[in-house]
Structure 1
Amino acid sequence: MGYAEKRGEYWRGRYKVDAGKYDTVKDSIGATIRFRTRREAEQAANDAESKVRAGVRRDEVSGRITFGDFVNRWYSAQDLAASTMQNYRRHIEEHLLPTFEHTAVADILPAEVTIWEKKERAAGYAESSIKTWRATLHLILADAVEEGLRDFNPASRRRGRGKRAGRSRSRGPEKAITTALGVLLIAERAALLSGRDDEFVAVVTKGFTGMRWGELVGLEAGYVRPAAIRVEWQLYELDSGELHRCPPKDDSHRTIDLPDWLDRLLAEHVARTRRKACGCHQRVYVFSGHRPPKGAVGRPGPTLVDVARRAGVSSATASAALNHPQVVHEVTRARITAAIADLGYVRGGASGELAAHWRRTNFATWLFQPAVTGWYPTKGRLKVRPVPVLGEPWPGIPVRGRNAAGRADACWLPVAPGLTPHGLRHTHRTLMEELGTPAKLADERMGHADGSVQARYTHVTPVMRARLLDGLTQLWEAAVTERRVMAPRSPVVVLDRLLTGSD
């Protein structure tokens, strides 16, 4: 048990640290604390001794533990979602430890935090990222304060500190959005780039439901229900490459109502693709990856689907022309042969096995961004370059393989510069605002929570839902009409059926 010791005009607390060894209660900088009363000194000494008995190291009791040692223990004690643990680890290892690892927790000063923040900004990091890392530092040091290792949190921001004009520094650029027609055009291009209809259905679904990326990738076939999608899970991609199946962000489980046209589009897609259970989760997902899995043997290039689209025939007819040419009409066979030459198609050039799921970077880099901007990104020695396409049939079939640019006769104009896959979520929320959707229903659909008093007194009704679905249907029908004016047909089969009105 600790005890108080009279030292002239003050008391100091003494506590046992080992057999026959005692220490004095000290503050965060290692100076002996002078207590006014004996009772205060005894209480502080007892608290310090209880920490020693609990196994806390002596340097921690005195506040001299380094930030590196403390944060290792702090991280091990967390029990959070895998995605959150991954983010904390990245923040700590890449941005906090390089500066604070060997500094005692008690010695970290507000000025040092400010200097660290300036260095991160000078290194070119986004203001929003720096704000996130500082929030992690604040959380760690707040726990250090609770444990008595510090008297205050040096990462706290003083309200109104600095120039008023400086407040706008943390404001990021406005998020790019698009229109209902933009969603349709991007979806069509993504399908042309992937060589299949899946990406058309996926992009349209994301643009007209506002689902998060992980929720779309993790959409299981069993949760596509009549006139609705049930959001129960998401697939979160960890740094290791593993896709972790976990609840949606902030536990935003919800049911998203679907307009009739989108309900049919998804139902037909599920019936057409007939996915098998993936090897990683043993579950059947609505969407799969568009490329061979990592490490699979294969050569990139145009697919048989690309050839069929170029020739204006079905994939079965194109296959028959290669395998049983005698059953295909001579004129049709000539078109298919010309398409093969134009596209540079090589039989067996690509593996038939596809990855079980999209990868965020793969999808955004090689499908979404080229569809949005009309440009491929830098790859190796290749600089950014236009997507080479053959202009017929409109909007053009992407050319792949050697000398693709030389064989192309057209390229795409941008649809919505700066748009990202997450920007489709912003787009959906904006479309709902245009339709006058009540905030309560919009938040429910997006998976957002409003804790205000007003939200508690507002409720979603069937009339609100029906009005929103009618509005989304009108937007979609208008987009299809505008697209039909541009060209009456599409190389994307599922869109071609919508344009021509065929089943």
Structure 2
Amino acid sequence: MGFAEDRGSYWRGRYKISTGKYGTVADANGNTIRFAKKRDAKQAADAEEAKVRAGEWRDPAAGRTTFGAYASGWYDAQDLAASTMQNYRRHLEEHLLPEFEDKALAEIQRTDVDAWERKEKALYAVSSVKTWRGTLHLLLEDAVEDGLISANPATKRRGRGKRAGRSRDRGPEKVVTDPLGILLVAERASLLSGRDDEFVAAVTKGYTGMRWGEVVGLEVEFARPKSVRIEWQLYEIDSGELVRCPPKEDSYRTVDAPPWLSRLWTGHIARTQPTPCPCHGRTYMFRGQGVSRTGETGAKVVDVARRAGVSTGTVSNVLNRPETVAEATRVRVRQAIADLGFTRGGGAVDQAAHWRRNGFATWLFTPAASGWYPKKAPQEARPVPVLAEPWPGVPARGRGAHARADTCWVPVAKGLTPHGLRHTHKTRMEGFRTPPKLMDERLGHIDGSVQARYTHITKEMRADLMAALTAEWEASLDARLAMCPTSPVAVLNALLHERARALR
């Protein structure tokens, strides 16, 4: 039993924690409570000893550990994927430590957390603040488990403080597109980059639902005749390093591919002849670009070739050996050079080992989908300047591009992002009435329900999905043929000619 100890001017309560170890009744901050009466001290000591026997006792002094000190040790103890560790570090350094770093864990109250959340919501998206509060809750829950605090002040109490009806803070719905939209965005991205890689990559993403890191990290050996194997991804961390790591949540899987998509991969590999990258020593299907594509770099040889309707070799001959080229062709090429403002070396782009997420989305995918380059200091948002011929146009580059342009692109799917193609793939499968088990397999999701455990994927299910994807692909080619029978993008031009012959 506990006992009261006379300290001259007050009484304090003492209780047994373990053999030879005694504690003193203290408040939440670890300060000794001074009792005026012996009886009060004895009752408080008995209550604390009862908690010890029930396994509910926590050392009051432990709560004096500061949030910053505990967070540092907590983060170091985590052993998670590189992407998760990076996210936790951002949440802590940018949003949680500035508010709570010097506060003792026991001093953090629910009202403090709610006040912080209101302040963050005034500056950031509600969905982001919800994620940061989730990290705070996880950290403080571990502090409870470690016996440093008795309750988690970041726990959300259900139904408290909610407005009736739907939340006014919902984010915008994810933009998706249709098969023709996938094709047109892929074509425009390829026109902006000046090569076929972006066309093949965008179509791959739209028809497999692969994550961005999985597309960037797709190694040649995993692109198989009837499927693609997802074994790795390349995740870009804040330092700029691309980390080769397992797919998100260990979602290793084999994604079935229609025959036409497999042929697209085979042709791409044969054209590009990929070699091992210097950073990982692995041979990846897709390459990056060496410089930022801001839309203001000079015109390239491929732009001139597309404008004149000739090969890049013919353009090179006009520039270096004009006597070897027919007069009519020389005139056409020189006119294209004048239209585009081409200068030697002005549009040279070295190949990089890999795409960068921000560069790809900002300067290739977003302008392809919306027809506008996004706002990027010091430049405001602006339409992509385009020379109208050949259709759907050749992007004008360099100084005076807007003055030389004939037109600009209309939006295909304004607001569409690379990840939106993953949503698009799921939406299209829903339209085919694809079994949920097969959809989860393709996307790398896990359904832990009993129904999912008792459902299995059959060959017929796979065949039906491949047939539906093929029908949509062919329909998109037919629709593109109706717009124009040719394309400045070589790989798409070949596909259009092949489709035209099949229809005839």
Q: What aligned pairs does 1:21-420 form with structure 2 within 5 A after superposition?
A: 24=24, 26=26, 28-30=28-30, 34-36=44-46, 40=50, 61-123=61-123, 125-165=124-164, 168-169=167-168, 171-292=170-291, 300-420=297-417
| Whole-angstrom distance in 2 between the partners of 1:196 and 1:290 | 10
Paired residue secondary structure (1:63): helix
> What are the Cα deviations for residues 249-280 of structure 1, in whole angstroms up to 9, with x where unaligned?
01000001110111100111011101111111
What's the C-alpha RMSD, in Å, of the aligned pairs? 2.6
* Deviation of the 1:172 alpha carbon: 2.2
| Whole-angstrom distance in 1 between the partners of 2:51 and 2:113 | 33
What amino acid is aligned across from residue 222 of structure 1 in structure 2? E
* Deviation of the 1:41 alpha carbon: 7.1
Paired residue secondary structure (1:466): helix
Tell me if structure 1 keeps the 8 A contact 2:15–2:24. Answer: yes
| Whole-angstrom distance in 1 between the partners of 2:69 and 2:16 | 25
Tell me if structure 2 keeps the 8 A contact 1:307–1:339. Answer: yes
> What are the Cα deviations for residues 414-449 of structure 1, in whole angstroms up to 9, with x where unaligned?
000111111000000000011111110011001100
| Whole-angstrom distance in 1 between the partners of 2:78 and 2:210 | 29
Whether 2:432 is the aligned partner of 1:435: answer yes
Tell me if structure 1 keeps the 8 A contact 2:17–2:49. Answer: no
* Deviation of the 1:85 alpha carbon: 1.0
* Deviation of the 1:303 alpha carbon: 1.1
Tell me if structure 1 keeps the 8 A contact 2:287–2:351. Answer: yes
- Identify if the C-alpha distance between structure 1 residues 264 and 254 changes in structure 2 by more than 3 Å, giving closer, same or farther: same
Whether 2:15 is the aligned partner of 1:13: answer yes
State the number of aligned residues.
Answer: 482
> What are the Cα deviations for residues 165-221 of structure 1, in whole angstroms up to 9, with x where unaligned?
266245322111000000000000000000011100000100010000000001011
What amino acid is aligned across from residue 369 of structure 2 in structure 1? V
* Deviation of the 1:159 alpha carbon: 1.4
* Deviation of the 1:326 alpha carbon: 1.9
Tell me if structure 1 keeps the 8 A contact 2:485–2:497. Answer: yes
Q: TM-score, normalised by structure 2?
A: 0.90
Q: TM-score, normalised by structure 1?
A: 0.90
| Whole-angstrom distance in 1 between the partners of 2:322 and 2:302 | 17
Whether 2:447 is the aligned partner of 1:455: answer no
| Whole-angstrom distance in 2 between the partners of 1:326 and 1:339 | 18
* Deviation of the 1:14 alpha carbon: 6.0
Paired residue secondary structure (2:344): coil
Percent identity of the aligned residues?
60
Tell me if structure 2 keeps the 8 A contact 1:12–1:32. Answer: no
> What are the Cα deviations for residues 315-364 of structure 1, in whole angstroms up to 9, with x where unaligned?
12222222222221111111111111111111122445211111000000
* Deviation of the 1:83 alpha carbon: 1.3
> What are the Cα deviations for residues 363-407 of structure 1, in whole angstroms up to 9, with x where unaligned?
000001100111112244431111000000000000001100000
What amino acid is aligned across from residue 63 of structure 2 in structure 1? G
| Whole-angstrom distance in 1 between the partners of 2:386 and 2:47 | 84
Tell me if structure 1 keeps the 8 A contact 2:15–2:22. Answer: no
Paired residue secondary structure (1:501): helix
What amino acid is aligned across from residue 320 of structure 2 in structure 1? N
> What are the Cα deviations for residues 19-64 of structure 1, in whole angstroms up to 9, with x where unaligned?
x998636454325593437964766999889xxxxxxxxxx84311
| Whole-angstrom distance in 1 between the partners of 2:348 and 2:184 | 28
What amino acid is aligned across from residue 353 of structure 2 in structure 1? A
| Whole-angstrom distance in 1 between the partners of 2:377 and 2:170 | 33
- Identify if the C-alpha distance between structure 1 residues 325 and 128 changes in structure 2 by more than 3 Å, giving closer, same or farther: same
| Whole-angstrom distance in 2 between the partners of 1:208 and 1:316 | 33
Tell me if structure 2 keeps the 8 A contact 1:195–1:305. Answer: yes
What amino acid is aligned across from residue 30 of structure 1 in structure 2? G
Tell me if structure 2 keeps the 8 A contact 1:14–1:25. Answer: no
| Whole-angstrom distance in 2 between the partners of 1:153 and 1:406 | 61
Task: List runs of 5+ in structure 2 lacking aligned partners.
Answer: 6-10, 34-43
* Deviation of the 1:237 alpha carbon: 0.6
Alignment-derived partner of residue 54 in structure 1: none
- Identify if the C-alpha distance between structure 1 residues 359 and 196 changes in structure 2 by more than 3 Å, giving closer, same or farther: same
